[in-house]
């Protein structure tokens, strides 16, 4: 990618629109992240994710959004389609690899009982698929495609849903279930019989995988509406209260470095908690929430403790400045998607991008209430770059 960028720069075929709100927000975000890594007391640990995650992100964005030749020949639609299909292709490949891992581990297992080192594709599949699947569903709804491709994509979505359900990841099931229902609501109303058939096929797949497994799944997802999940059998102790305590403890750390945070890499939260004396203070505190966060950290090793929330994690890694600039990028993306949906001239590719983006962002925000995926969410970066291409295309048509 770096070589391609250098070649295109030498040939003067790269030109970002510096007046674009997206480009300015992206540049501001990159500057903030680099400053945070450079000034972090954990500089060495911050520079590794900067090199691994941010630099490739810059290259992809510039290569996709800044090609003069694409703008001159009005080929943004083709590039946008290629970028969208690359997300779908990654989703289908990831589904196949996750199925392979799951079958090798045994269908009685979920993500909490597998050998994670031997099943890394199944391990995080539920969260990754929650982000990619809304774009695949939007493609089926808005694009004209070959029947074979459509059938293959439908099968991939059905298999992915089966894997997500058996994985036991509640946040993924809730987020993706709500988003998929909203996406398919008009279609379900028009094709009630087909919808019921699809639900029946999924149910048969779950039962066939293992009756014992189905009972365990039912018990796990029943906790979503259980009072014990939020209140607990003992006063103050529940799964939800544990998350609240983690957020409370992380925000206490953030208060020491509110502007730029501790630099990229959430894994350092373990070091901050121990080296800066937070664990000792929480352990000796008379506040229940402090003791709860100490109880969370103590049995864990470095790399296992994490903030479990996108907003809290970004504040920890990049501070208020990073969260603000990242939010600006997402707001520009949402605004452009809404504008495409409202335009009078409706092209299938643009409608797919707009509807897929809105569904993706809804799922992204929902699942990140309990997770922290931002630099790792490659689809987000792809949508940001495509929105810049389509915005430039609209401007050239005007």
Residue 98 phi/psi, 5-degree rounding, is -65, -40
Rounded to 10 deg, the angle between the 348-367 and 170-190 helix axes is 140
Using a 10 angstrom Cβ sphere, with 0-12 exposed, 13-18 middle and 19 or more buried, the burial of residue 304 is exposed
Higher pLDDT, 380 or 253: 253
Higher pLDDT, 95 or 227: 95
% of the chain exceeding 90 in pLDDT: 22
pLDDT band of 238, cuts 50, 70, 90: low
Measured between alpha carbons, how far is 1 from 121 in angstroms, rounded to an integer?
A: 25
The whole-number average pLDDT for the span 82-90 is: 84
pLDDT at position 233 is 45
The token pair that represents 230 in the structure block: 């939020």
Residue 260's DSSP bridge partners are: none
CA angle 65, 70, 73 (to 5 degrees): 150
Total Cβ atoms within 10 A of residue 197: 11
Measured between alpha carbons, how far is 16 from 255 in angstroms, rounded to an integer?
A: 36
pLDDT at position 52 is 80
Residue 123 phi/psi, 5-degree rounding, is -55, -55
CA angle 335, 53, 276 (to 5 degrees): 105
Buried b / exposed e over 66-93, threshold 16 CB at 10 Å, is: bbeebbeeeebbebbbebbbebbeebbe
The whole-number average pLDDT for the span 290-301 is: 87
The distance between the two most distant Cα atoms of the chain, rounded to a whole number of Å, is: 68
pLDDT band of 324, cuts 50, 70, 90: very high
pLDDT at position 328 is 93
- Residue-wise pLDDT for 131-172, tens only, equals 889 999 999 988 888 889 999 999 999 899 888 888 878 888
pLDDT at position 167 is 82
Alpha-helix runs per DSSP H in 14-53: 21-39, 43-49
Measured between alpha carbons, how far is 342 from 351 in angstroms, rounded to an integer?
A: 10
Residue 67 phi/psi, 5-degree rounding, is -85, 115
CA 59 to chain centre: 20
Whether residue 128 contacts residue 94, with contact meaning beta carbons closer than 8 Å, is answered with yes
**Which among 215, 266, 5, 231 has a CA at the least distance from the CA of 110?**
215
234-241: Cβ within 8 A, 24+ apart: 236/288, 236/292, 237/292, 241/289, 241/292
The pTM for the full model equals 0.83
The whole-number average pLDDT for the span 92-103 is: 89
Whether residue 1 contacts residue 57, with contact meaning beta carbons closer than 8 Å, is answered with no
- Domain locations in the chain as residue ranges: 2-9+20-225+309-397, 235-255+266-297
- Residue-wise pLDDT for 27-73, tens only, equals 999 999 999 999 999 888 888 888 887 887 887 787 777 665 555 44
């Amino acid at each position: 990618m770096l070589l391609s960028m250098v070649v295109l720069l030498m040939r003067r075929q790269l030109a970002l629109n510096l007046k674009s709100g997206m480009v300015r927000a992206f540049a501001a975000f990159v500057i903030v992240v680099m400053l945070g890594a450079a000034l972090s007391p954990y500089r060495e640990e911050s520079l590794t994710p900067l090199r691994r995650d941010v630099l490739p992100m810059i290259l992809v964005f510039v290569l996709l959004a800044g090609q003069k030749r694409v703008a001159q020949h009005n080929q943004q639609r083709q590039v946008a389609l290629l970028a969208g299909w690359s997300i779908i292709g990654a989703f289908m490949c990831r589904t196949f690899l996750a199925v392979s891992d799951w079958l090798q581990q045994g269908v009685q297992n979920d993500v909490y009982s597998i050998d994670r080192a031997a099943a890394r594709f199944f391990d995080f599949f539920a969260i990754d698929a929650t982000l990619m699947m809304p774009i695949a569903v939007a493609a089926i709804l808005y694009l004209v495609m070959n029947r074979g491709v459509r059938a293959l994509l439908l099968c991939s979505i059905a298999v992915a849903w089966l894997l997500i359900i058996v994985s036991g990841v509640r946040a993924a099931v809730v987020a993706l279930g709500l988003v998929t229902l909203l996406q398919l609501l008009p279609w379900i109303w028009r094709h009630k019989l087909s919808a019921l058939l699809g639900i029946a096929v999924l149910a048969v797949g779950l039962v066939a995988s293992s009756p014992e497994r189905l009972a365990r799944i039912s018990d796990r997802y029943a906790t979503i509406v259980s009072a014990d999940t939020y209140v607990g059998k003992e006063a103050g102790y529940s799964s939800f209260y544990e998350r609240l305590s983690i957020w409370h403890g992380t925000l206490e750390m953030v208060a020491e470095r509110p502007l730029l945070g501790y630099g990229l890499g959430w894994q350092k939260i373990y070091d901050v908690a121990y080296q800066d004396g937070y664990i000792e203070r929480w352990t000796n505190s008379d506040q229940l929430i402090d003791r709860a966060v100490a109880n969370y950290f103590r049995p864990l090793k470095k790399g296992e403790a994490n903030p479990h929330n996108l907003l809290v994690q970004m504040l920890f890694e990049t501070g208020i400045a990073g969260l603000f600039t990242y939010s600006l990028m997402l707001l520009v993306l949402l605004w452009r998607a809404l504008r495409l949906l409202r335009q009078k001239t409706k092209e299938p590719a643009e409608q797919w991008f707009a509807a897929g983006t809105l569904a993706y962002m809804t799922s992204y925000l929902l699942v990140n209430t309990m997770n922290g995926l931002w630099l790792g969410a490659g689809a987000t970066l792809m949508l940001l770059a495509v929105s810049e291409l389509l915005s430039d295309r609209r401007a050239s048509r005007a």
